[in-house]
Structure 1
Amino acid sequence: MALCLSSTSVIAAPDGAPRDLDQIVVTATRTERAIADVPNTVDVIDRARMDALLVRDIADLFRYEPGITVGSSFGRFGLNDIRIRGLGGNRVRIQTDGIAVPDAFAIGSFSNANRNFVDLDTLKRVEVVRGPTSALYGSDALGGVVSFVTKDPADYLGEGRTAHFGTKLGVTSADEGLFAGATAAFGGERWSGLVAVSHRQGQETGNMGEVGGTGSARTQANPQAYAGRSVLGKVVFAPSETQRFKLTVEGNEDDVDTDVLTSYGLQALTGATNTQVLGEDHQSRARVTFGHEIGGLSSALADSVDWQLYRQDSRTRQDSVEVRRVPSGGTVIRDRRERAFHFDQRSYGLQANARKTFETGSVDHAIAYGLDIERTETKQKRDGRRIFLDTGVVTNVMLPDVFPVRDFPISDTTRAALYVQDEIGFADGAFRLVPALRVDHYRLDPEVDTIFREDNPTTQVADLRETSVSPKLGVVWKFSDAWSLFGGYARGFRAPPYNDVNIGFTNFMFGYTAIPNPDLRSETSDGLELGLRFAGDVGYASLSSYYTQYDDFIESTRYIGDDPVTGLMIYQSQNVDDARIRGVEFKGGLYFDTFAPALEGWSLQGAAAWSRGEDRTTGEALGSVDPLTATLGVAFAREAWGAELIGRFAGRRDRLPAAPAGSAYFESPGHALLDLYAHWRFAPGTRVDVGVFNLADRKVWQAGLVPVVSATSATLDRYTAPGRNVAVSLSVDF
């Protein structure tokens, strides 16, 4: 169940279905434009919608957005990435107020740094641009952009209001979670500020597995306890109506403790028997940003300018403990293995943007241009020790490792870019061309310290210098008041990652080594999109098709042969994979009051995504591309109360990579789920929201959460979604 107090009434939109295509977005063109006027497929989820849907994490956030999938792993590490049209990981740019969130990195069973660093309670809006977006956002926007926009004091003040206070608290039944928060805003003619704090805690998210106990046969979720905290603070100084200075301080941290019961018992690979496996995971992100916005300029170069300086620090620490019994020469050795994984990033950056509008005859121009400069230091380390419980002997030798080790050297990366975009309007804006171009320069400078060198005495690391040019051409044609065509071409790229360029790892026990590759090329994508939109009083609709070709995908640690001197198998990251993904997407809604006044308050919303992906090198299907998915919801809203019933639908996941001869992979069956929401404003400034998910308590496998696993596996129920669960929310604002 969920109960929540939330500061939303000031920024909440009127109840009922929003006029989606009228919403203003910035991410798609770096200028303020209604969705109906951008040449991309764009999704917007505002604060009011997040609260109405009782959104607690990124999986909740994109629950009703077909074509956008949140990945998750069973056992310990949970939610891990956001996939857009089948592409995820570090190939999608995720940013908060324009600043990229830290990278993901994983190696082995005990280390997995994800990108789930943002507390959604601090946001006022989320914008998603689907498809290659490197012409505006550079490296890592290969598959698209997810843009988190945090709250501002102005979202709560205005119309004579100089102060606002709201509180939030609640519970969720799927993970027995509790959450609480508060938002305070104040302001006058020139100064304003905002502070938002939140706390969350809970347990593992349940599934519909029935096998408990310990060992590899367990299908129930492993026991977990999590806790998280966040703070967002902003101070704004507006010396005039055309200027604004803003200082932002943001911090977020999460802790998760896991009793990994599925790893207890005999381990076939090592012959050891685990009697205890525990995980303690901590991650945190903090940033400080100082920015300045100025408009109303009388300059030939710009009408408005904004810039911001920032520093961002992230830290992931994951501690693991294994207590084992190991047979050895007729005796049993009892030992305790302690591992610690660290992944830290520190970034400094400057972003500056300018906009200028002018006319040349009957043609309108809206030019946006700017620069992005960022320097990031990345450190990764694995440490550990082995304690022999019978003798008390302690050693840092835990073969194949002699701790501490780094799997790549400390890496400094510098990104510098210039971009320009012109929105060219013809026929009073009825036809618009949107060309854009960005030039990125990427530098990688590794630093070999004692830890890396002792573990990799002969590895020759390399620096990297690469320049990439990313063009884009978009088109929007309003051929009537309500109808328009949109589409265009966009190129994406991703610079070779530091860990692939300079990986260093040797395992003499199992006879292999991983070596650097300074000759890696950037991954690239070329995307085409064509769509049709309708926006009128009766409703809205958007139908688009896309085709994207990806080249030079980097396959990490690929086997390339044997070393003739040492006999070790050699692994190296290489550009080997080419892929293509194509699909069709739809989103639309109807407002029934336009058909009959008696139907005022009734609305219908729906969305669907169909896609196909192939590895062009092998001809096999891409397992990361979801089957057909769709949502359909009907809502009724009055000023004081309302309700919404939403169905979630998915087809069978029958396009998977080829399985080994004589075997088959599990194809998650199609499913249909129903969710029910209701809200009630029972007093001024106070609102209750209720959500019941999976109303029929059906057992389903969500394709995005199921790994490629054998169809005969006895533990398929591990990957099932939760059964019926409830959320209740209460919000109070003053």
Structure 2
Amino acid sequence: MRRPLTAAIALSLVCPLAVLAAEDADDKSRQTTRYSLDTVVVQGRRSLNEDVITDQKSRAVIEQEMVRDTRDLVRYTTDVGISDSGRHLKGFAIRGVEGNRVGISVDGVSLPDFEENSLYNRYGNFNSSRMSIDPELVRAISIVKGADAFSGGSGALGGRVDYRTLEASDIVRAGNETGFLLRSGYASKNREWVNGFAVGYAGDAFETLLVYSHRHGHEMGSRGEGPYYQQSKSQHPDPSRRKQDSYLAKFSWHISPAHSLSLGLTGQLARNFTDERSYTLFGSQWREAEDISRRGNLQLGYAWTPESDWLASLKLDADYQRTDLSALNYKGGRNYVTDEKELGEVFDRRMHTRFKRLTFGMETLPLALGASQHTLAFKAFASNREFWNINYDTYVFSGVPSPQPAYTIQYPVNTRQYGFSLEDQVQWNASLSSRFGLRYDHERLTPQELNARCSTACTAEGRPAGNTFGNWNGLASVVARLNAHWALGATVSTGYRVPTASEMYFTFKNAYGSWKSNPDLRAERSVNYSLSLQGEGEAGGVNISLYQVNYRDFLFEQESITRTRNPYYEQCQIWGCAEYDESPVQQMVNLDRARIRGLEFSSHLNLAYYWPQLEGWKLSAQLGYSQGSLSSDNSLLSIQPLKGILGLDYHAPNGRWAVFARGTYLGAKKAADAQVVQNVYSYRNRTFSRVVTTYPYLNRRAALLDIYGYVRAGERFTFRAGVYNIFNRKYHTWDALRGINAHYGASTTNSVDREGYGLERFHAPGRNFSLSMEYLF
């Protein structure tokens, strides 16, 4: 199936080029533009005037593809992956970087970076997830590929993902003032039910919206199989029970045609209880973990849109966000007679953030300057973010709990930020437009007094000094419409990321390994260059993009080896003891430079253009490929392998039903692109040696087929269904494999035994289905 699929993708990419060229020649001969674009065709794609490479997912596309989570969002998107570490998803991977290097925002408010260090990452006692939002609350998702700090600020180093929540107009049908939506769905891949409702009112003076969604399900399924169920050689996913409640409330008051007030409130509470059968410590030790995430956002807004010759709007917005990431870990051994679990300790680990921001914005109407039109925008903002950790441990002796005093693993950090941005969108003439932007961010990170006791391992260096970051970023783009069908665009943009509190200030001192703070870290930087050619016509469309991203001051955890003389060497040398004790020391440093190059193709072909009897049929294809390198011997594991998608759609002329088929080709990760550097300890020589080796878990290529669609019964009821991995293919994704903790013997979670039996549980789900029903009235 692989070769026919690859050939079909190539063919569907090339066909629109020839057809659009023919249309162009036809237009020139007639000196008129014959064709108008059907909005259904370009839904969810870039328009000819967009200057930043962005994949748009409208509400219609989200519903059509039955997007339920982060994995579903990128299922039919090339050159975008997820950061997967087993129990915890840590966001997206775009342009060769992942996690905190890809920004995520909800209604313009950035979700906090996850705070994690490599010490605790090996043991899974903390909840290091990157927060997200339930797609049931979302009307549009923008996946921006490439550096975009001008719009996204810190974190948009390789790209960003923006979620926009529902509005009352999404629920209220045209011609009505009120609307009500009921929706229920099921996905077999994780046995998850989703139930929710929405009610909206849209009047002349007021608009209100209330949305609620409830999810409950289990662990993600796996096509893996085998007889082992315990420790790192377990071949089956750890059983889990998931539950999430999400809500959205909005209120708008149109005081007058020129003045309006808005209030928005959104939040979620998610719990995931996991029986970590793959937990590996020693003997019969066991662990059960409950990851809890809470998020609450409050937004207030005022807008003034006067009747003016030059001013379009003035806006004032206030944002408040509170997040809590917690992990409850229950651990113990087993009764040597009955083999029943016996609770020995409970670890309650919590990470908190509180964010406040005030933003002022102004935008003008198009202003004439000679033959050009300039639309100007100015924004100024000030914010404060607090981060702190608090932990509560309880030890159980003979069934009696003994709570311990609260403690922390690092100093709380307060981040103050202010900045401004200027933007000029220029229409030079009917064929040429451009966009220029400049932004400045000033951020001050200040460690605070300890909020609880902290061990000598974390206070050995004392309270660290603060650090200030000043970052200028910009955007310059130009789009030239070559004719009615073709447009050529070029963009240069920059990005940056300020180090997290954990990267700068976490310390831990131990004879077997230490972690040093580094308050002098610099912000990571990136520059993105992209060139795109787009064509649209009645026959279809094509988009070809080439890009290069240069990264510098990449943060890297450097491991060095310290040598201290053994004070007992004279007494024990006769027994062969080492004269020097060697111990690894970890520290975050600005070390690496990186360069990523790649290309993306996408096309769609309306088959009715050739054969009128095929009305409603459409062929589409996407292809994404990238490669890159670091200045060190390591490889950037987050670079996505080759991915191609071939689609065949049919929309019934009456609009009552549609069927969509998607064939996906997932390329294999090459060994040359997965090199890692390790310090390997020799028990014979009692020394460490530096070794460059291939990452041990590489995925093979795979071809998949999905079919999904919908049926509308009347104007109010819609039934959707999809079958995925129809041929029940057994395969690994690269995102799942590169998230494995490859510290043999030094990791207790998300790890694989030396024989490789545990790789079975990392297989993607086999054949699975999704169902959804909604009623809108």
Q: TM (normalized to structure 2)?
A: 0.84
Q: Decide whether the 8 Å contact of 2:234 with 2:757 is kept in 1.
A: no
Report what 2:294 is aligned to: 284
Report what 1:673 is aligned to: 704
- Superposed CA offset, 1:15-72 (max 9, x none): x99333796xxxxxxxxxx732121111111111111111111111111001111222
CA distance in 1, matches of 2:43, 2:416: 37
Corresponding residue to 1:184 among 193, 199, 202: 199
Report what 2:71 is aligned to: 59
CA distance in 2, matches of 1:393, 1:480: 76
Q: How does 1:253-332 map to 2 (within 5 A)?
A: 253-263=269-279, 267=281, 272-298=282-308, 302-324=311-333
- Superposed CA offset, 1:289-341 (max 9, x none): 111233244265x32222310111111110101113799xxxxx987122111
CA distance in 2, matches of 1:237, 1:334: 58
1:347 correspondence with 2:350: no
2:515 aligns to what SS in structure 1? strand
Deviation at 1:580, TM superposition (A): 1.2
Q: Decide whether the 8 Å contact of 2:289 with 2:330 is kept in 1.
A: yes
Corresponding residue to 1:723 among 742, 754, 766: 766
Deviation at 1:412, TM superposition (A): 0.8
Instruction: Return the letter of the residue paired with 2:246.
Output: S
1:150 correspondence with 2:168: no
Q: Decide whether the 8 Å contact of 1:553 with 1:577 is kept in 2.
A: yes
CA distance in 2, matches of 1:431, 1:299: 24
Q: Decide whether the 8 Å contact of 2:557 with 2:589 is kept in 1.
A: yes
- Superposed CA offset, 1:79-136 (max 9, x none): 3311112211111110011000122123332113222331110000001111010123
Corresponding residue to 1:701 among 720, 732, 736: 732
1:637 correspondence with 2:651: yes
Cα pair distance change 1:78/1:457, threshold 3 Å? closer
CA distance in 2, matches of 1:127, 1:663: 35
1:340 aligns to what SS in structure 2? strand
1:359 correspondence with 2:353: no
Which region of structure 1 is more displaced relative to structure 2, 411-420 or 347-356? 347-356
CA distance in 1, matches of 2:247, 2:548: 41
1:589 correspondence with 2:604: yes
Which region of structure 1 is more displaced relative to structure 2, 568-577 or 643-652? 568-577
Corresponding residue to 1:46 among 43, 51, 58: 58
2:348 aligns to what SS in structure 1? strand
Report what 1:493 is aligned to: 496
Instruction: Return the letter of the residue paired with 1:656.
Output: A
Which region of structure 1 is more displaced relative to structure 2, 317-326 or 603-612? 317-326
Report what 2:746 is aligned to: none
Q: How does 1:463-612 map to 2 (within 5 A)?
A: 463-508=466-511, 510=512, 512-556=513-557, 558-559=559-560, 561=562, 570-612=585-627
Deviation at 1:385, TM superposition (A): 3.4
Q: How does 1:386-425 map to 2 (within 5 A)?
A: 386-389=395-398, 394=402, 396=404, 404-425=406-427
Deviation at 1:530, TM superposition (A): 0.8
Report what 2:152 is aligned to: 137
Instruction: Return the letter of the residue paired with 1:728.
Output: L
- Superposed CA offset, 1:227-285 (max 9, x none): 11011000111123343321001111111111001126xx3xxxx32343100111010
Q: Decide whether the 8 Å contact of 1:258 with 1:279 is kept in 2.
A: yes
Cα pair distance change 1:260/1:393, threshold 3 Å? closer
Deviation at 1:466, TM superposition (A): 1.6
Report what 1:7 is aligned to: none
Which region of structure 1 is more displaced relative to structure 2, 370-379 or 704-713? 704-713
1:48 aligns to what SS in structure 2? helix
Deviation at 1:424, TM superposition (A): 1.8
Cα pair distance change 1:565/1:298, threshold 3 Å? farther
1:113 aligns to what SS in structure 2? coil
CA distance in 1, matches of 2:589, 2:503: 8
Deviation at 1:484, TM superposition (A): 0.8
Cα pair distance change 1:116/1:453, threshold 3 Å? closer
Corresponding residue to 1:683 among 714, 739, 745: 714
- Superposed CA offset, 1:342-377 (max 9, x none): 011110112232222201110111112212322111
| Percent of residue pairs identical | 24
CA distance in 2, matches of 1:466, 1:670: 43
Report what 1:651 is aligned to: 667
Q: Decide whether the 8 Å contact of 2:530 with 2:546 is kept in 1.
A: yes
CA distance in 1, matches of 2:262, 2:555: 40
1:60 aligns to what SS in structure 2? helix
- Superposed CA offset, 1:408-466 (max 9, x none): 211111121111111222223x1122221111101111112153555434423111112
Corresponding residue to 2:248 among 232, 241, 248: 232
Q: Decide whether the 8 Å contact of 1:73 with 1:79 is kept in 2.
A: yes
2:133 aligns to what SS in structure 1? coil
Instruction: Return the letter of the residue paired with 1:92.
Output: V
CA distance in 2, matches of 1:104, 1:80: 7
Q: Decide whether the 8 Å contact of 1:124 with 1:149 is kept in 2.
A: yes
1:241 aligns to what SS in structure 2? coil
Q: Decide whether the 8 Å contact of 1:702 with 1:721 is kept in 2.
A: yes
Deviation at 1:137, TM superposition (A): 2.4
1:374 correspondence with 2:374: no
Instruction: Return the letter of the residue paired with 2:635.
Output: A
1:104 correspondence with 2:129: no
Q: TM (normalized to structure 1)?
A: 0.88
Cα pair distance change 1:417/1:663, threshold 3 Å? closer
Report what 1:85 is aligned to: 95
2:756 aligns to what SS in structure 1? coil
Deviation at 1:163, TM superposition (A): 0.4
CA distance in 2, matches of 1:149, 1:720: 32
Cα pair distance change 1:257/1:359, threshold 3 Å? same
5+ long unaligned stretches in structure 2: 1-37, 568-580, 678-690, 743-751
Report what 2:29 is aligned to: none
Which has the larger share of helix?
A: 2
CA distance in 2, matches of 1:40, 1:560: 44
CA distance in 2, matches of 1:536, 1:474: 24
2:675 aligns to what SS in structure 1? coil
CA distance in 2, matches of 1:666, 1:249: 43
Cα pair distance change 1:22/1:728, threshold 3 Å? closer
Report what 1:36 is aligned to: 48
Deviation at 1:156, TM superposition (A): 3.1
Report what 2:40 is aligned to: 18
Paired positions, count? 684
Q: Decide whether the 8 Å contact of 1:280 with 1:318 is kept in 2.
A: yes
1:506 aligns to what SS in structure 2? coil
Q: Decide whether the 8 Å contact of 1:318 with 1:341 is kept in 2.
A: yes
CA distance in 1, matches of 2:279, 2:411: 31
Q: Decide whether the 8 Å contact of 2:386 with 2:415 is kept in 1.
A: yes
2:232 aligns to what SS in structure 1? coil
Corresponding residue to 1:118 among 133, 138, 146: 133
2:730 aligns to what SS in structure 1? coil
Report what 2:31 is aligned to: none
Instruction: Return the letter of the residue paired with 2:106.
Output: T
Q: Decide whether the 8 Å contact of 1:368 with 1:420 is kept in 2.
A: yes
CA distance in 2, matches of 1:423, 1:406: 49
CA distance in 1, matches of 2:303, 2:315: 4
Q: Decide whether the 8 Å contact of 1:21 with 1:35 is kept in 2.
A: no
| Higher-Rg member (1/2) | 2
2:509 aligns to what SS in structure 1? strand
Cα pair distance change 1:213/1:591, threshold 3 Å? same
Q: Decide whether the 8 Å contact of 1:69 with 1:82 is kept in 2.
A: yes
